[in-house]
Structure 1
């Protein structure tokens, strides 16, 4: 069920006879780009990129049926149900994350890398303003990836104002006390909201695995209520339509729209780490 949607970002399906399996090799696009997209990306306004990111994320999030969360937690393979929309939405989170890491690691100039960090922090901030916490967190997690966070020369040149913004995002993502910072923030927001989906999945998984479904052959309704409460969060987030004002001043909106819907990324962490060490070798 849902085989194609559960592939990795650059994963591909191959159809062949069993005796041809050993001769299969990855196609070139599975390796990801060899150069960044900075030449076109740097001319796009951060507001426009955040708007189109959010618009696409809302499309994906709005397609996720509440039952897909249930199927995902209880095991779609047992229930023989599809979770294709949820799979695609979760994969989009990873795609945004790897987009950030890829662009930074494929930028050979120090000054340009600093500009990239500033731009990504701005985009994350605008996503937060749009109440798109999923994309905001994906960008911040991309910046905190070891391949990016180890670039000390780049981070040293980042202006203090942007370092402060980044620290605020890190505090928002702090997992301590059961993600208290995030939960307090989202409790104050009004819909429409695009929540941090991996945390909702984690909450439901914790509830499912930590509590028996049946006790003495009777349904454990307390467990079902806890799972239902998480589903209600998704329902609340989508209780109002997403209709923000488009950044009309942005140039070439169709180009920005196309760009954010077709990221070209490297999803191999080892390769990204090697690129990072090539930019700033480890200090002895």
Structure 2
């Protein structure tokens, strides 16, 4: 089903499964976006195993024909199959798929297609190596030699830029593990089992936010709490420069949380925080944040909460199928446009060096108080209905601009 005149999106609004596959294998330079959208979203209407079977059938059917058009169709089906293999999630690489691909490599060698055989074999080996490495990582938890310290470190023992770099490394490590299919699955079922890396990334955001709140509210003196808030604001400045919107918003959500916001702060502190809050103003569908993200160059770590909101909105607001039971590819096109930033940002990595002292200080942000405990501490500092008299404040020491 072609799109109507003046309609946005791909030329093909919808079609049967086989029509979409044929269109993807026939995509030319002018239709590469359809090709990428197909690869990003095909799991919403066909399994990887079934797609590999169909592409293999198409490759075998046309490869010995003399007609150049059909030979090209065969070759295109093979290269699409290679991309599918290259982008398989580790959990999707079943023994059955490995055996199918091994048989194809053997067949290619027998037919003298050495270049194609080598290409597919290398992709397979790379995926198998990734699976082995993941299994090793899951069974290995290194112990830090710096985990025991005589003096407990504080946020002021490190430069703000260094803290922002190490926060970004932790975010980037978790972000790189997220697979695009996890986000699509979350929009449909919101299952932690189907989206394990996405769940871990979201939990990391929440832990960091509660860690920041706990750092501030556990300080007995108003002056120390004020210094910590200003320290976190300076860390946010560096995070924004690094295009790390995830940690930026985790800290912002902490500083703007009710148990902290209700306390009394100096005007320059509240004014400084208000400036950073404009980025995530929700009154215009987060226009400022969307504009900042659109302008950001990789490396970048987006705030996934808004991506999940957008992808869920598209899923709930559009049918999977059009009339006559054909697949609604216009819906997949919208999903692709939302997910393309995630795919783009995952391709570029940060080059910060790991600082074990700071990572030990963070302790993966596992040390934090519950929401109830944070509220209790906030109420002890400033009871409800009672205007607290300002505590005598010594002039705060000058803090470095780092």
Interval of TM-score (by shorter of Structure 1 and Structure 2): 0.7 to 0.9
C-alpha separation in 2, matches of 1:264 and 1:278: 24
| TM-score where L is the length of structure 1 | 0.77
C-alpha separation in 2, matches of 1:139 and 1:81: 28
Q: Structure 1 residue 209: deviation in Å?
A: 1.1
Q: Which deviations, in whole Å up to 9, do the C-alpha atoms of 1:90-143 show, x marking residues without a partner?
A: 111101110111111111111100111011111111111111001001100100
| Residue 94 of structure 1: aligned partner | 206
Identify unmatched segments of 5+ residues in structure 2.
1-150, 387-402
| Residue 332 of structure 2: aligned partner | 224
| Residue 370 of structure 2: aligned partner | 268
Q: Structure 1 residue 267: deviation in Å?
A: 5.1
| Residue 209 of structure 1: aligned partner | 316
Q: Structure 1 residue 163: deviation in Å?
A: 3.7
| Residue 66 of structure 1: aligned partner | 180
Q: Which deviations, in whole Å up to 9, do the C-alpha atoms of 1:243-274 show, x marking residues without a partner?
A: 24x59xxxxx3210222242244452222111
Give matches, 1:179-258, under 5 Å.
Answer: 179-216=286-323, 217-244=325-352, 246=353, 253-258=355-360
Q: Which deviations, in whole Å up to 9, do the C-alpha atoms of 1:51-81 show, x marking residues without a partner?
A: 100011001101111111111112265xx96
C-alpha separation in 2, matches of 1:108 and 1:259: 20
C-alpha separation in 2, matches of 1:42 and 1:106: 15
C-alpha separation in 1, matches of 2:286 and 2:384: 33
Q: Which deviations, in whole Å up to 9, do the C-alpha atoms of 1:183-202 show, x marking residues without a partner?
A: 11111111111001101011
Q: Secondary structure at the match of 2:154?
A: helix
C-alpha contact 1:194 1:237 (8 A) present in aligned 2: yes
Q: Secondary structure at the match of 1:193?
A: coil
Query: Which has the larger Rg?
Result: 2
Identify unmatched segments of 5+ residues in structure 1.
1-36, 248-252
Q: Which deviations, in whole Å up to 9, do the C-alpha atoms of 1:143-174 show, x marking residues without a partner?
A: 0100000111xx12x6x2x4443222110010
| TM-score where L is the length of structure 2 | 0.55
The size of the alignment, in residue pairs, is 235
CA distance 1:261–1:197, shift in 2 (3 Å): farther
Which consecutive segments of 4 or more residues in structure 1 shift more than 4 A? Answer: none
| Residue 281 of structure 2: aligned partner | 174
Q: Secondary structure at the match of 1:107?
A: coil
C-alpha separation in 2, matches of 1:51 and 1:148: 25
CA distance 1:88–1:47, shift in 2 (3 Å): same
| Residue 40 of structure 1: aligned partner | 154
Q: Structure 1 residue 239: deviation in Å?
A: 2.7
CA distance 1:278–1:201, shift in 2 (3 Å): same
